[in-house]
Chains A and B, each alone.
Chain A
Amino acid sequence: MDKRVANADAVIGRVRDGATILMGAFGLCGVPENLISALLRQGTKNLTVVSNNPGTDGFGVGLLIENRQVKKMIASYVGSNKFFEKLVLSGEIEMELNPQGTLAERMRAAGAGIPAFFTPTGYGTMVAEGKEVREFKGRPHVLEPSLRGDFAFIKAWKGDRWGNLVYRKTARNFHAVMATAADYVIAEVEEMVDLGGLDPDGVHTPGIFVDAIFQGTNYVKPMEPGPKRKRDEG
């Protein structure tokens, strides 16, 4: 078994107009940079993108949005991308907001063969409008459907030719759950290792979930701003 492909361009042709793609990342942390670049070059349109955020102006999912390749965005927080906001206000892009945990659980459910589930999250709020409500132990719960992708774009730290993956620090975020919830899962890794090169106890995504894997190149890995400590503060 060898799931390795040469690069993103070698598999991106599978993605057709109108596809639903799960894209891991939390803000700019853990962006599948090579796959997004290949999709930009291919120009595939009318995509539904599921990602916690729409990237930023100029990076990540934001690049696909600027290139008008995205028809609908399913996310939990979109405050980091001004151009996306403009397209939403002008009706040029569709937006569906999910509570972050509901978003993760919808994909976890899809990956585990669960078509829908009840959760108290969002009960009594805008996100519960039009959804079935049922009481369990006296508390109202909202019925949420599972969420599956045609594709998942996964970025990991290390991987092997069977598709076993290890992520690094908070770059794991949505990747691990998204890898379980799509028909065709493509993983790009910073380092491809030989079989046996990953500690079997430390594998985060077992290879069974992955269909294709390649070693990415030229990672930018930009960072969003934040406060810094000064040396004399200790």
Chain B
Amino acid sequence: MDKRELIARRVAQEMRDGYYVNLGIGIPTLVPNYLPRGIEVIMQSENGMLGIGPYPYEGEEDPDLVNAGKEPVTEIPGCCYFSSADSFAMIRGGHMDVCVLGALQVDEKGNLANWAVPGKMLKGMGGAMDLVAGTKRVIVAMEHAAKDGAPKIVKKCALPLTGLEVVDLIVTDLAVIEVTPKGLLLREVAPGITPEAVQKITEPALLRAPDLKTISI
């Protein structure tokens, strides 16, 4: 299975009926494809929409209807629209259940760096700082290591931070790791991957859950 699909499928298992969810760009956008059957999860878009539908058919795009990535989308029955101020009252006021974001680095305290790419001009944080500060549960969905093999789960983030002690769960192509007050807890490993192999490309020492499981899709 494709790495990105594995991550999205595992994140989808975290969703519960009735959740209000905000998804970041990249891997998180794949999550709705794999939601468990029989549950209703409402997707929020921070530009002012609850109830995002699938992408439109060619020729049926509406310039007044876009997602937070500015792509044309559609609405589902029960959808509603609101202003940016109301949208961020939902996000900053603790009304959103889950947000799923990508990351450049996450550290053992749950600090997150995901908005400033090294060596490039700052492009802006968009709504990411608000989302990680205000959402009840923050899930990072990312490949375990960078393209050059460098760990992305580090002892201390070196890149500019998005939020301090904000991450609750890290889902990668190799493992599911929970951020706990005692440190990073390895809960699940991908099929065919040993805990030692995960540790090898993870900078901080991982605690091992007594009931360590294999990711089951």
Contact surface of A with B, Cβ cutoff 8 Å: 26-30, 52, 75-80, 85, 88-89, 95, 97, 99-105, 107-108, 119-127, 157, 167-177, 204, 221-231
Contacts and interface: CB of A to CB of B under 8 A. Distances in A.
Contacts of B65: 29, 169-170
B164 A101 contact: no
A126 B160 contact: yes
Nearest to A109: B85
Contacts of B129: 99, 101-102, 121-122, 125, 127
Given A121-B134, A176-B85, A80 B70 contact: yes
A88 B65 CA distance: 30
Interface in B89-133: 91-92, 111, 116, 121-130, 133
Contact of A223 (B46, B66, B116, B164): B66
Interface in B28-73: 45-49, 54-58, 61-67, 69-73
B172 interface: no
Contact of A100 (B66, B73, B116, B130): B130
B202 interface: no
Contacts of B215: none
A101 B88 CA distance: 5
B48 A172 contact: yes
A170 B85 contact: no
B81 interface: yes
Interface residues of B, number: 51
Contact of B124 (A97, A105, A108): A97
Contacts of B72: 223-224, 226
**Residue among A107, A170, A204 facing the most chain B CB atoms (10 A cut-off):** A170
Contacts of B123: 77-79
B83 A173 contact: yes
A52 B133 CA distance: 19
25 contacts: A26-B66, A29-B47, A29-B64, A76-B124, A77-B126, A78-B123, A79-B123, A80-B70, A99-B129, A99-B130, A100-B130, A101-B91, A102-B130, A125-B164, A126-B160, A157-B64, A169-B64, A169-B81, A172-B83, A176-B83, A223-B66, A226-B61, A226-B70, A228-B55, A229-B57
Nearest to B62: A169
Contact of B63 (A29, A52, A167, A229): A29
Contacts of A224: 66, 70-72
Given A26-B70, A100-B46, A76 B56 contact: no
A174 B92 CA distance: 16
Interface of B: 45-49, 54-58, 61-67, 69-73, 75, 81-85, 87-88, 91-92, 111, 116, 121-130, 133-134, 160-164
Nearest to A84: B121
Contacts of B75: 169
A101 B46 CA distance: 9
A52 B124 CA distance: 10
Given A104-B87, A124-B111, A169-B62, 11 more contacts: A79-B124, A97-B125, A101-B46, A101-B129, A104-B84, A108-B85, A121-B129, A167-B81, A224-B70, A226-B71, A230-B57
Nearest to A29: B66
B63 A222 contact: yes
Contact of A123 (B45, B64, B67, B133): B133
A101 B127 contact: yes
Nearest to B61: A223
Nearest to B54: A229
Contacts of B88: 100-101, 104-105
Nearest to A180: B85
A89 B121 contact: yes
A125 B70 contact: no
B124 A221 contact: no
Task: Please name the 10 residue pairs, one residue from A and one from B, whose CB atoms are nearest each other, closest first.
Answer: A226-B71, A101-B88, A101-B130, A124-B164, A176-B83, A27-B70, A77-B124, A79-B123, A99-B129, A221-B63
